[in-house]
Amino acid sequence: SQKIEQNSEALNIQEGKTATLTCNYTNYSPAYLQWYRQDPGRGPVFLLLIRENEKEKRKERLKVTFDTTLKQSLFHITASQPADSATYLCALDSGGSYIPTFGRGTSLIVHP
């Protein structure tokens, strides 16, 4: 069956460090993968998209990698700040369906 796996345990890190979140998937052949941020009581907000033929994408302090052989995406936040504390969701399309399917998200807590 199809699965999108994100670590259900919260990631706690110290301010200034790099946060790395993982998204693994099985039985998907996504054309692209997206990362969203969700704050409590709010809807998800789009951050970055990476296509299947791209290895890495950067935006300011954010970096996403996409390894279609490992079926994994890594999401990095460098020089993390307490304001980065949120839940981060990965989403991928089901091979041309154009409908993003979401993982459960990983909570990031950045301590001052």
Partner 1 sequence: EAGVVQSPRYKIIEKKQPVAFWCNPISGHNTLYWYRQNLGQGPELLIRYENEEAVDDSQLPKDRFSAERLKGVDSTLKIQPAELGDSAVYLCASSGGTGDNSPLHFGNGTRLTVT
Footprint on this chain of partner 1 (rule: CB under 8 A): 4, 8, 31-32, 34, 36, 41-46, 49, 51, 89, 91, 93, 97-105
Closer residue to partner 1 (CB): 57 or 76: 57
Least distance in Å: CB of 76 to partner 1?
19
Is 74 within 8 Å of 20 (Cβ atoms)? yes
Count Cα atoms within 13 angstroms, Cβ side, for 40.
5
Q: Judged by CB, which is closer to partner 1: 17, or 58?
A: 58
CA-nearest of 22, 28, 34 to 72 is 22
